Structure 1
Amino acid sequence: MRTWSRKNSLSGVKIRSEMDGREASVLRSLVTSVLGLLEDRSASAPTDDLAELTGLRTGNPTAPTDATVARLLPDFFGSGRDAVDPDSRDANDNGALRSLYEPDIIDAKVAAGSTILRTVPVEGGKIVLTPEQAEQWLYGLNDIRLALGTTIGIDADTPEELDPDDRRAPHLDVYHWLTWMQDSLVQVLLP
């Protein structure tokens, strides 16, 4: 992938890069996986009679049990590493806030991932984004990095390079590539 660049055109600012076919395939696969996790979470929300009458959607009031989904949809209160006592006020507040806001949060994450899928050429090639699409890319790339990092166990103690025999080594390279892509895009979007 080439570094992102910013170009002014008659139709406005455009953010550009280029990606080869393998990179496009990897990125599309990761985005599709994250979208699948989010859509499964959304589908797991219980039905609510009041929501059906009013048209207001409600989310799942319980925290995700899957570590990757929990990283994408963390609690509103309490640390993700410290389990919140299910009978505590924080747990009740988290459940209420999840019911209210999780559908919109999932919608925003799905929209960001969908923007990436719409704008990455399937076989690779030039990528041209509006500043709004570039912001969606940032959100989507962040979600992909969070999901991948959680899945392969990346934390603050993970070294920059792993032993080639470590099963996580190829995935860490992809994680670093996503980090570089996100950083390059941030640099282009800064005023």
Structure 2
Amino acid sequence: MSGFEKHRSGAVIATFAVFEADLIRSLCFQLVELLRDEQPDPAEHLDPLEALFNFSGPVDEPEDPVLLRLFPTAYTEDPEAAGEFRRYTEPALRTAKERNVVLVIDTLEDAGLPMEPEDASIVIDVELDEPSALGWLLAFNDLRLAIATRLGVTDDDEEFWESLPEDDDRSQAHDIYEWLGWLQETLVAAIEA
């Protein structure tokens, strides 16, 4: 995989080995599952006009640290204002984040990624228009935040990650985190080119 590049047509393109594409899809599925976890749609039984004006989102911080990182508290000194802000904004933010990761999944599958890849020689060619490229960029950002939160990645902790043995699961997860960061950087460069 050589990262994302701008094609002369204006599209952003990348080629993934099947295991890379499958890894990205798997991470996206996990994030979708987390975003949907225990989130009943309060508007599902409302008529469309009622649903448009339904502001019955959550007022409490998420218990899961990843969700809290993805949906941070806006007003740390004012719990009531923070709850109101969360109630009005979190449902739409969840929907947008889910839409981005589902876009990545759909793009990979539309490009030919099989549900259960068996042939390691398969490559997946992805071509993104500008809105899709921005969706992928946001999805990569959320995936990296999720991994960093689960691993406890902090600024200036590279020495710790480099000291872990290669067979340590945390080291492997950190490698994926770094790889997604590299993909994100190449995508930004391709969008800006």
TM category, shorter: 0.7 to 0.9
Where does the alignment leave 5 or more consecutive residues of structure 1 unmatched? 79-87
Mapped to 2, the partners of 1:8 and 1:167 lie a distance apart of 40
On the 8 A contact 1:76/1:97 being kept in 2, the answer is: yes
Mapped to 2, the partners of 1:113 and 1:189 lie a distance apart of 18
Query: Would you say how many aligned residue pairs link Structure 1 and Structure 2?
Result: 174
Report deviation, 1:57.
4.2
Mapped to 2, the partners of 1:114 and 1:167 lie a distance apart of 26
1:125 aligned counterpart, secondary structure: strand
Mapped to 1, the partners of 2:68 and 2:163 lie a distance apart of 26
Report deviation, 1:157.
3.3
Structure 1 counterpart of 2:91, from 82, 103, 107? 103
Mapped to 1, the partners of 2:162 and 2:180 lie a distance apart of 15
Mapped to 2, the partners of 1:176 and 1:92 lie a distance apart of 37
Where does the alignment leave 5 or more consecutive residues of structure 2 unmatched? 115-122
Structure 1 counterpart of 2:50, from 40, 47, 54? 54
- Superposed CA deviations along residues 137-156 of structure 1, whole A, max 9, x for unmatched, are 01000000000111111111
Mapped to 2, the partners of 1:101 and 1:173 lie a distance apart of 33
Task: Name the % identity.
Answer: 29
TM-score, L = length of structure 1: 0.83
Report deviation, 1:17.
0.5
TM-score, L = length of structure 2: 0.82
Report deviation, 1:41.
4.8
Deviates more, 1:60-69 or 1:122-131: 122-131
